[in-house]
Structures are given as C-alpha cells and as structure tokens.
Amino acid sequence: MTTAESTRTPAATTSPGWRATLAAYVALTKPRIIELLLVTTVPVMFLAERGVPDLWLVLATLVGGTLSAGAANTFNMVYDRDIDAQMGRTAHRPLVTGAVSPRAATIFGVALAALSTAWLWWLVNPLSAMLSLGAIVLYAVGYTMILKRRTAQNIVWGGVAGCMPTLIGWSAVRDEVGWPAVILFLVIFFWTPPHYWPLSMRFTEDYARAGVPMAPVVHQQTTVAKQIVAYSWVMVATSLVLVPVANMGWVYLVAALVSGAMFVLEAHRLLREARRGAAQSVLRPMRLFHFSITYVSVLFLGVAVDPLLHLPLA
C-alpha cells in the first residue's frame, strides 16, 4: 500500500457526487497555475501580430494550452502523490484523499495530452503542437521524475516547461520561433527561481519532511535570498533587451522598468531580513511570491498593449 493509499479515509471510498468528481478532476489540472501560463501566451500573440490577432486563433491556442498544461499537472500529481501526502500544503489533493485513483488520473492525463496535441496540430499549427507536447514532457519527466527529488536546482531547469507558452504563443501566429519570443522565454526562465523559492522558503519544513531538496532545504536562507536577488536583476535586464529586439515603445519600457524596480527592491528586502536572521513572520517570503505574479502580469500586459498604442521611443 502506498503512502497516498494509506491516507484515504473511509468516506473517500464511497461514490462521490458528480460535482465532487468533476471538481477533483479539475483540481488535477492545477487551474491557478494554468491561469498564469495563459497570461504569458496571449500577450505574445499580440506582439507577434503587432496588433490584435485572429480571435479564433487566440481561443484555439488558449484551449490547446489549457489542455496541455492540465495534462502536465495531472502527471505531476500522479507521480508526486507520495510526497504530497506528507506536506500540509498538498495533503488535500485528489490523489492523496482518494477522490481520484492513480489509474484514472493517468488515463485522464494521457487523454488531455493526446487531445491537446491533436487540437493544436489541426486548429493552430504543427509547430505549436510539438512545442506544447515538449512542455508536457519537460514538466512531467524532466522536472517531476528526474530533477525534483535529486537536486536543489530542480526548479531552475525544471522551470523551462513553464517558459514554453511564450514560444507557443509566438509560433501560433507566425508559425516559427522568433527572437522576441526567445527573449520572453528567458525572462520567464530567470523569473521562475525568485518566484518559486520564496514559496519554498515559506514551506521549508514541508519539503524537508517529504525529502525534496528545494534550495531553502539544503541552503541557508541568506544563500537562497542572494540567489533570488541575482536572478531578479538578470530577469529585469533580460526584459529590457526586448526593447531593441522587438522595437518596443514607451508602454512596455515603463511597465518593465517600474515593475522590475519594485521586484528588485522586494528581493533586496528579503535578503536584508534573511541576513538579520529574521523569523518567518518578519521575513515574509510570500510577499515576493505574490508580487512576482503581479510583476509577470504587468510586464506581459505591457507586451500586449505596446504594439496597440504605437508610442515609439524615438
């Protein structure tokens, strides 16, 4: 009997109503993560089109991307159900509670992966479909199965899967991968550690109990905070590279500078408190975690709006 199976309560073995079953399958896809991925997809389509892209194409790309991300997240929950059962933050997940069986979840994940690939292939283009399938493999195999339990750099390289929507959004419009998409890919790559490590700092005990070597588990808080600051500076610098590469105007430049400056300041605040040996109540790593979501939303809003308003720098 697995750890996940042993945690099931007698109530979990009874037949749930269809609403509870539907909610459990939706939970497998991690909707909140999908929302963040889509925030980086649509603006890139606006940039690739240099205006408003075909709305049916946007809808088709969003549906395909949602199915693809849902598949990757489902596979992640299937594989991680043993450690999810040991962490308070994830103990309520469907595979831990028994709301969905591992076999049913696996079939669900395979169905989503097949459907998303076919959907994007026929309704968007083959390149976008292959990029989407690659993102599933990178997250489900590269991050979940290979990196997560073996190295403190898991989220750095495993986070590549989360960068793929920038390439998918661009390829959906242009049927190629252009340099602006690559720059935004790198922005999300450098954004991922300072986004996720504060969350790991907040739940260090959970990860340690589950035996997952997240950076805050194997390094001192000061060391992790220094890395967060370094990644933050590189992220902001990379975001500014988009200005000459994609001929961005004032809207994007202001969005990148203001949100980037606030991000860096918050990262330095976290480092300052870590050096003081502050307790969690003072360190407040979740402040940076929550602001990181605001940052990427503001930045990519700038990506979408800039080509619409046409306010050139010169």
* 139 contacts: CB under 8 Å, gap ≥ 6: 72, 73, 75, 76, 158, 161, 162
pLDDT digits (tens, 9 = 90+) for 181-206: 999 999 999 999 999 999 999 999 99
Q: Which CATH class is domain 178-314?
A: mainly alpha
- The boundaries of every CATH 1.10.357.140 domain in the chain are 20-176
pTM value is: 0.91
Mean pLDDT by groups of 10 residues along the chain of 314 residues? 43 67 94 87 97 96 96 96 92 94 97 98 98 97 95 92 96 97 98 95 91 93 96 98 97 98 97 83 86 97 95 88
Question: What are the helix (H) ranges across 7-80?
Answer: 18-28, 31-49, 55-79
- The boundaries of every CATH 1.20.120 domain in the chain are 178-314
The answer as to CATH 1.10.357.140 being correct for domain 20-176 is yes
Is residue 303 a contact partner of residue 48, using CB atoms and an 8 Å limit? no
